Amino acid sequence: MGTAFLLLGQVEVRLDDRVIDVGHFRQRAVLLALLVDANRSVSTDQLIDRVWGQRPPQRARGTLYGYLSRLRKSLKDASDVDIRHHADGYVLAVADTSIDLRQFERLAVAAAVEHDDEQALALCERALALWRGEAFAGWDAPWSNAIRDNLQRQRRTVELRRNDIALRLGRHNDLLPELAAATTARPLDERLAGQYMLALHRGGQQAEALQHYHQTRVRLAREFGVDPSRALQDVFQRILATDPSRESALPDRRRDRQDSVPSQNPVADELALAPPCAVAPGPSGPGDPSSAAVAPASPPDPSDPQIAWCTLPRDSATFIGRAPEVDLVAGSLAAGGAGGPVAVYAIDGMPGVGKTALAIHLGHRLASQFPDRQLFIDLHAHTAGHEPVAPMEALAALLVADGFPAHRLPAGLDQRAALWRGRLAGKRALLVLDNVLDSEQVRHLLPGTAGSLVLITSRRRLADLDATSIPLDMLPAGEAAEMFGRLARRGGEEPDAVARLVDLCGRLPLAISLLAAVLAKHPSWRVDHLIHEARTRMLSVRAEQRSVAAAFDLSYRHLPAPLQRFFRRLGAYPGIEIDPYTAAALDDTTVDQATEQLDALCHDHLLTEGAYRRFHLHDLIREYANSLAAGDGDQEQALDRAYGYLAGVAAIADRRISRYPRPRSRSIGPVGSTDTSSAPELVRSDQAMAWLRAEWPNLLSLLRHANRRAQHERVVALAAGLASLLRVDGPWRQAQAVAAMAAVAARRLDDRRALADALVDRGIGEQLLDDYSAARATLEEALTHYQALGDEVGEANAYLHLAEVADLATDYPHALRLVREAHSRFRRLGNTLGAAAALVTIGSAHRALGDYGRAAEALHEALLGYRELDNDLGEASVLIHLGPVREQRGDLSGAAQALRRALAISRRVGSRLGENGALHNLGPILQRQGDLTGAAEVLSRCVRMSREMGDDAGQANALNYLASVRCDMGELAGARELLDTSLPMLRQIGDRLGETEALNQLGTLHRLSGDALTGAELHQQALQLARRMHSRWYEAHSLAGLGRCAIARGSTTEGTDLLGQALATFQSIGAGEASDISTELAAARGLDPSSPSSVRART
């Protein structure tokens, strides 16, 4: 049977089912240290570090050699195992199939790329069956703990994938016991919760499924102050709407994943190898990604947390009537088919007639015909205190909801419209464009190809729009009476009085619902009493629609005095929506009391809960509440409290997610009370990011409101709170504009420190937009202000960001001078965050210059700093830089481990840029490890993600790396097409490092195709660029390419001389490629690579 190494549980070695004694703890530690990197060289220093950590014995090497000798004796009967000395380390040579850890990883990848559900399920089960407990059970060392954590995440990924597949295959009953135990152990894992809910539901336990949802919702609110994810809410809504007997046997949804539970697990699939082919077939054959075209009919992947698959508000349980209108839309679609031309329906009518309710009801009813997207957007044509949403902003919102990164949005309206139409091409999407001002507001938002449905609501008839008009009149008398009876809970009582009352309401649904709520609160009243009250109020109000105004007024007058005051304050609040925390600040009360008041107003139909604990006012009700608030003397104090609360929590969240030192209250003027003691807990970066993403529409609305009213302190405070979020999510033009607004406000306040802080944020925005000269000028102005103020933290920050600009402009020596100035100041001030940020830039510049030792030293120190601060985004940034440094030093295992950790963090906080960066650097490592298929899959995914994000530089560099993989696979023509695509892109962008890479690869392709002369010319161009940039690593690669071309032309002496220069350069920077070049050089000289003369040749 051979030797078996068991690591997924207690560490054991078995030979033909017999346990082998491999010695005491330290000796077993040596074996484990070699096993996790089996068939790869582990240096002596690494072994010592793994065995003894920070406290090695005085004669560690001698002791280690003794352990290795005894291990060889213990394994002497294992003919398939060999411990070999290799350079300055050791290799455990063994078949991967004999190590359960490697078997698990191979099976996990195979399951991820398998299309057949039965086969994929079997692979998952085989992978999970290998686990006998916790990996490396009983071991406690930093290096083994990190690997164990990574393996545990991979195990959970496979478990979740197995659950999804089993649910698709209808095997929910088999899953229930294990899911019950898993949800008890991990109660906040939303993906797991969704799977458990589906399994319960399909097993006929719908009540238990709904109860589990409510328990999860309460826990999330209590622990993190957040709602369940949209994915989990969708599962909940499907369970509410579906008969479990119809879901017990489900079709294979490999291509239509509406039934899968979207991945919302904080630690996502680190294997990152699915889908197996992210790029459409090109001219080189199936699976070739050289065409760089995303498959237009690719199925939706609900596991992507950046895409809003369904944003429809919940349907009304009391919706009634409108049968002719519903039949018109549904019948037209049925007649034309879902794949017919774009169907556009414009619903128009007076305020309060139920336009939005009809559109939402239609959206839910027809959603199954449009599975790719169901999006809702309020364009605020008639929202009090808000300007109508411009087409540019609406397109930005739709594109971001569709997964396009905000910071890459095009600047022009036509470009955004074209991008939007392109992303909808081939998809079946449903759009609800609510509260529209006129045709021009929505014309650019309409899809351009067949297969989608658009529902528009407007108070005006949009006669100049190519749409089917649906004029909405008052409800028929019978339907109006039925609606009132349902809401008032009076059944069919007093039919004549009810008929008079609904006529009094103008048979408008909004007025009917308000008066029904009043009657429901007064069980002793008869309908005639309500009619009397309503008529009295109608005599005392003046409005365009007296019936609606009277209903408002009557509902308001029957509220208790504290609730009336709360309602008036809500009317004055300029945010888009409000949660209980902000409402508590606004009303100067507790969160519990604010929640009760919000619920009471919802019960009275004066407020709508669009999503869990997110409330908003109907436009007409907002206008009415605002008119009541106009005479209150305390409204400005209430707004001060709301502004202060939001600005204070935004500052906390901003600092939590920032990788740099951020301005604190020293730069924020008096915006009212900044008591944040009742705020949701924002301990982790993902909590802070979730809060900012939920509140940024409100923060932006309040910022604009304050700017219109020249409230400069509020502008400065809110802009500072938005800066880090806009830097991560974009739009970067908006980041720049917000910072510019803050700078203007700070100048008017004559607050020099606030001005300098705003200029730093503005300079960062300009840097992100690749306007390096403007960024440099802005940051230099900020530096002069900080110097005049004697603000050392500000000075250090300005130096840091000036260094980043120089680094991006490939002026690495100048970048190092600037960032060392920043680092020395941060260290002197004891500012750990600033020092860590500076070290990242130091590491980046040293890496670009080929000084990997110094790069690794700086990045390791930065990593310690960010981890000390629990700064996840900072840690991910370091790891994304550290991966390539480790790779170029020959530590492929360490490089992959760093990048997988970065990948997990980026996915947890929803940073698509970080995810793409981690995958981008992981691909070449898989290639060097010999996993060409895995590398191609990862890099193909990067090409797709970069294109979707509008990241031209990322796309071009991913194409470069993918070309290298194709070349190693022997697909020279496909590799050439990829490089012919990437090189012009890189030259247009001005990415000189990427251009150097592409030139070197093209040189290699020409040499392999028999044209070594042209190859040498291309390598020479690359060499000139590398030397101009002072990049030693690319210089060495270019020299090696020139040497190979010379040898191919028959000039062996010239070739070996060039290879020798490349070797010397690689050795001088500590690059891992030195070993390969040494072997290649020895072979070119006709030497045995293991001979003494060959060894001398390497030095």
Domain that holds residue 600: 561-632
- For residue 1014, being part of any structural domain is answered with no
Mean pLDDT of 96-114: 81
The pTM of the full predicted model, rounded to 2 decimals, is: 0.56
What digits encode the pLDDT tens for the residues 778-788? Answer: 999 999 999 99
Per residue in 925-939, pLDDT (tens digit) is 988 888 888 888 889
Q: What average pLDDT score do residues 807-824 get?
A: 87
Q: Is the pLDDT of residue 539 over 50?
A: no
Residue 41's contacts (CB-CB under 8 Å, 6 or more residues apart) are: 86, 87, 89, 90, 91, 890
698: left (phi over 0), alpha (psi -120 to 50) or beta: alpha
Claim to verify: residue 200 and residue 331 sit in the same structural domain: no
Would you say how long the chain is, in residues?
1099
Comparing 643 with 116, the larger pLDDT belongs to 643
Rounded distance between C-alpha atoms, residue 972 and residue 1005, angstroms? 7
Q: What phi and psi, each to the nearest 5 degrees, are found at residue 258?
A: -60, -25
Same domain assignment for residues 510 and 403: no
Looking at residue 99, which CATH number applies to its domain? 1.10.10.10
Residue 254 pLDDT greater than 50, yes or no: no
- Nearest-angstrom CA–CA distance, 835 and 816: 14
Structure tokens given for 887: 């790779």
User: Is the Cβ–Cβ distance between 614 and 691 less than 8 Å?
Assistant: no
Of 533, 557, 581, which residue sits at a domain end? 557
Q: Is residue 1019 part of a domain?
A: no
Q: Report whether pLDDT(1037) > 80.
A: yes
Lowest-confidence pick of 445-459, 508-522, 691-705, 1082-1096: 1082-1096
Q: What is the mean pLDDT of residues 316-322?
A: 76
Region 522-535: what's the mean pLDDT?
74
Query: How confident is residue 223, by pLDDT bands cut at 50, 70 and 90?
Result: low
pLDDT-derived band at 380, boundaries 50, 70, 90: confident
Determine which helix (DSSP H) or strand (DSSP E) holds 28, and give its type and residue range: helix 25-35
What single DSSP character describes residue 99?
Answer: B
Q: What is the pLDDT of residues 658-692, one digit of tens each?
A: 888 876 534 343 444 455 667 788 888 878 888 99
Same domain, 359 and 227: no
Q: Residue 1043: pLDDT band by 50, 70, 90 thresholds?
A: very high
Q: Summarize pLDDT for 407-456 with one digit per residue, the tens.
A: 677 878 888 888 888 888 878 889 999 989 888 898 999 988 778 899 99
Please indicate, yes or no, whether residues 820 and 769 belong to a single structural domain of this protein: no
Q: How many CB atoms lie within 10 A of CB 569?
A: 24
The mean pLDDT of 249-264, rounded to a whole number, is 32
With respect to residue 987, please indicate whether it lies within any of the assigned structural domains. Answer: no
Of 110-114, 124-128, 582-586, the poorest mean pLDDT is in 110-114
Mark whether 797 and 831 lie in a shared domain: yes
DSSP for 992-1049, please give it: HHHHHHHHHHHHHHHHHTT-HHHHHHHHHHHHHHHHHTT-HHHHHHHHHHHHHHHHHT
Residue range 574-590: mean pLDDT, rounded: 91
Q: Is the pLDDT of residue 826 over 60?
A: yes
State mean pLDDT over 502-531: 76
In a domain, residue 100? The reply is: yes
Q: Which position has the higher pLDDT, 99 or 530?
A: 99
Residues 194 and 327 in one domain: no
Q: Is residue 435 part of a domain?
A: yes
1002 token code pair: 């093209």
Q: Mean pLDDT lowest for which of 280-289, 566-575, 732-741?
A: 280-289
Q: 830-876 pLDDT, tens per residue?
A: 999 999 999 999 998 888 888 888 999 999 999 999 988 888 889 99
CATH number, domain of 452, equals 3.40.50.300
Domain boundary among 419, 441, 471: 471
One-letter-per-residue 3-state SS of 1077-1099 = HHHHHHHHCCCCCCCHHHHHHCC
CA atoms of 132 and 740, how far apart (whole Å)? 59
**pLDDT interval class at 1058 (50, 70, 90):** very high
Q: Residue 466 has which token pair?
A: 């190519």
Residue 1054 belongs to a domain: no
Answer yes or no: is pLDDT of 257 > 70: no
327 shares a domain with 425: yes
Highest mean pLDDT of the ranges 192-206, 381-395, 484-498, 549-563: 192-206
Mean pLDDT for the stretch of residues 948-971: 83
Tokens of 579: 């949660």
Same domain (yes/no): 808, 766: no
Q: What is the pLDDT of residue 304?
A: 43
Lookup: tokens for 794: 């500000």
**pLDDT digit string, tens, across residues 2-11:** 788 898 988 8
CA 95 to chain centre: 38
What's the pLDDT score for residue 677? 65
How far, in Å, CA of 380 to CA of 834, rounded?
A: 42
137, 207, 390, 554, 610 from 618: Cα distances, Å: 59, 33, 20, 17, 11
Output the CA torsion 443→444→447→448 (10° steps).
100
351-355, 471-475, 534-538, 917-921: which has the minimum mean pLDDT?
Answer: 534-538
Residues 738 and 763 in one domain: yes
Q: What is the pLDDT of residue 837?
A: 94
Residue 538 has pLDDT above 50, yes or no: no
> Six-digit token pair at 623?
């206008």
pLDDT for position 259: 33
Asked whether the beta carbons of 580 and 594 are under 8 A apart, the reply is yes
| Of the residues 443, 471, 499, the one at which a domain ends | 471
**Interatomic CA distance for residues 956 and 942, integer angstroms:** 10
Question: In this structure, which amino acid lies at residue 724?
Answer: S
pLDDT band at 1061; cut points 50, 70, 90: very high
Do both 381 and 365 map to the same domain? yes
What is the number of structural domains in the chain?
7
Residue 750's CB is within 10 A of a number of other CB atoms, namely 9
Q: Answer whether residue 625 shows pLDDT above 90.
A: no
What is the amino acid identity at position 290? S
Shared-domain flag, residues 489 and 460: no
pLDDT at 1000 over 70: yes
Residue 269: predicted pLDDT: 29
Structure tokens at 475: 């409800």
Q: 275: cis peptide before it, omega within 30°?
A: yes
pLDDT at site 770 = 67
What number is the average pLDDT over the span 1082-1096?
A: 51
User: Are residue 176 and residue 224 in the same domain, yes or no?
Assistant: yes
Report the 3 state secondary structure along 45-90.
HHHHHHHHCCCCCCCHHHHHHHHHHHHHHHCCCCCCCEEEEECCEE
Which residue in this structure is represented by tokens 């709508």? 608
DSSP H or E segment with residue 13: strand 12-15
- What is the dihedral sign for C-alpha 788, 790, 791, 797? positive
Residue 242's pLDDT is 61
pLDDT of 1088 strictly over 60: no
In a domain, 965, yes or no: no
Largest CA distance in the chain: 111
Q: How far is CA 436 from CA 247, 377, 420, 448, in A?
A: 39, 10, 19, 20
CATH of the domain at 726: 1.25.40
Per cent of the chain over pLDDT 70 is 85
* CATH code assigned at 245: 1.25.40.10
Asked whether residue 834 is domain-assigned, the answer is yes
DSSP, res 810: T
Average pLDDT, the chain: 80
| DSSP for residue 870 | T
